[in-house]
Amino acid sequence: MPVLNVAVLATESLLRSLGKISDSRDVESYVYKEGEGAERRILSMIRPLKHPESLRPLLSTLNVAESGIIEVKEINAALGEAMVAFSSSKVENGHIIINPKDGNWIDPEKLSLIRNQAGLESWKIHDSLPDPHDIRSDLLSRVRIDTTEEEVLVSIDQHFVVRGIGLVGIGYVRSGIIRKHESVEIHPGGHVGVVRSLQVMDDDVDFAVTGDRVGVALRGVQDNILDKGSQIVSVGSKLLTRMEKSEIKVDISVFQRNVLKAGDIVHMSCDLQFIVGRIESVSEESIVVVWDRPVDVRTASKKPPLLVQLDAGPMRIIGAITDIRPV
């Protein structure tokens, strides 16, 4: 189904005006559907909970988002961090909605300056709550089916065992098309299984495409092979590279003032994985990081991994990883 995933930092009331809640865990999902059959278009609006206290749900949301909405209640450090996170994740279109709390006033020109500094110049600023229909119409106009023949990659964030069916993983199709009855490979581990069935939006389907949130029922594998951050690819795929140590290049985010050094603990967020690493060395050109466990990552992607430092103060986003190679 053609779907647009939208990362949203906003109040519940604003989201309820845009869609219907469908799921709630460390994020809330709201869905809006328009049209029928081949003409149906879907908005999947994903709201990470507990930001700014917890950064990981926001990063997981940005891993899969193509558009964004930010409701501005006040201008503070958390807003700056959020804007940098969206920009570093290459979310190039979105809406910033001014809705100050307690009747306070927010200067649109100051907000515009911060937006531009963060790298979100293409985002539209609304100086008051807009008509929800206008927001939905703009987002729906951006719904596209990815027709490129990319290799299949499904990133998993939930899993469970269903009696009579077996192991089921829930996640997002990050690239390509996954099909019912095809053989797949699950990482880490390289386990081979067969897609028993697929579900998208609670409907049984024969295939799922890039952007779909999909349930994948697997057969021929043990019940304990999936975890949060597991990756499903085609059998024999070379899409993922296993790394224990990586040399990375980072586009340092604006507003970031911390200087990385050997011994620092960092995290990498990519394809619903959140991986701990320790910096081994830093040079002018690159950083070498030793991961706390072997990781399976794409060396090239339209959506760059993010490097973060959780103890870096108000700006935890170090920047986008523009290149990653095993050492």
Task: Provide the pLDDT for residue 313.
Answer: 84
Q: How far is CA 153 from CA 43, 59, 174, 194, 216, in A?
A: 21, 18, 5, 15, 12
Identical topology for domains 3-140 and 153-234: no
- The residue-averaged pLDDT of 133-156 equals 88
Q: How would you class 191 by CB atoms within 10 Å of its CB: exposed for 0-12, middle for 13-18, buried for 19 or more?
A: middle
**pLDDT of 27 above 80:** yes
The per-residue pLDDT for range 88-135, each reduced to its tens digit, is: 999 999 999 999 988 789 999 999 999 999 999 999 999 999 999 999
CA distance 104 to 172: 39
Kind of pairing between the strands at 166-175 and 317-326: unpaired
C-alpha span between 112 and 16 (Å, rounded): 26
- Tokens 């709390």 belong to 101
CB 166 within 8 A of CB 147: no
Confidence of residue 312 (pLDDT cuts 50, 70, 90): confident
CA 321/CA 55 separation, integer angstroms? 17
Specify the CATH class of 3-140 in words: alpha beta
pTM (global) more than 0.85: yes
At which residue do the structure tokens 């049209």 appear? Answer: 35
Q: Which residues pair with 282 in a beta bridge?
A: 287
CB atoms within 10 A of CB 207: 16
Cβ of 103: how many Cβ atoms within 10 Å? 5
Contact assessment for residue 3 and residue 29, using Cβ atoms and an 8 Å cutoff: no
- Is the Cβ–Cβ distance between 155 and 59 less than 8 Å? no
What is the CATH architecture assignment of 153-234? Beta Barrel (2.40)
Please say whether the beta carbons of 118 and 254 come within 8 A. yes
Residue 262 confidence (pLDDT) above 90 = yes
pLDDT, position 148: 62
Backbone φ and ψ for 84, nearest 5 degrees, come out as -65, -40
Name the token pair of 153: 């990659």
Q: For residue 14, is pLDDT > 70?
A: yes
Q: What architecture does CATH give domain 240-326? A: Beta Barrel (2.40)
Q: What integer is the mean pLDDT of 69-73?
A: 97
Q: What is the per-residue pLDDT for 48?
A: 95
Q: Which is nearest to 270 in space by CA: 311, 229, 238, 310?
A: 229
pLDDT in tens, 180-233: 999 999 999 999 999 999 999 889 999 999 999 999 999 999 999 999 999 999
Helices (H), 8-100: 12-18, 56-64, 77-88
Cβ–Cβ under 8 Å, residues 272 and 305: no
166, two tokens: 């077996």
What are the residue boundaries of the structural domains of the chain, listed by start? 3-140, 153-234, 240-326
DSSP 302: S
Q: Which two tokens stand for residue 178?
A: 């996954």
Reply yes or no on whether the pLDDT at 246 is more than 90: yes
Q: Report, as an integer, the average pLDDT of 137-155.
A: 86
pLDDT band per the 50, 70, 90 thresholds, residue 287: very high
**Distance, CA of 123 to CA of 115 (rounded, Å):** 8
In degrees, rounded to 5, the angle at the alpha carbon of residue 150 between the alpha carbons of residues 145 and 155 is 85
Provide the mean pLDDT of the chain.
Answer: 94
Q: Residue type for 146, please?
A: D
| pLDDT score at 1 | 65
Tell me, what DSSP letter sits at residue 326? Answer: E
- Assess whether pLDDT exceeds 70 at residue 253: yes
Identity of the amino acid at 278: R
Q: Among all chains, which residue has been given the structure tokens 């959506």? A: 303
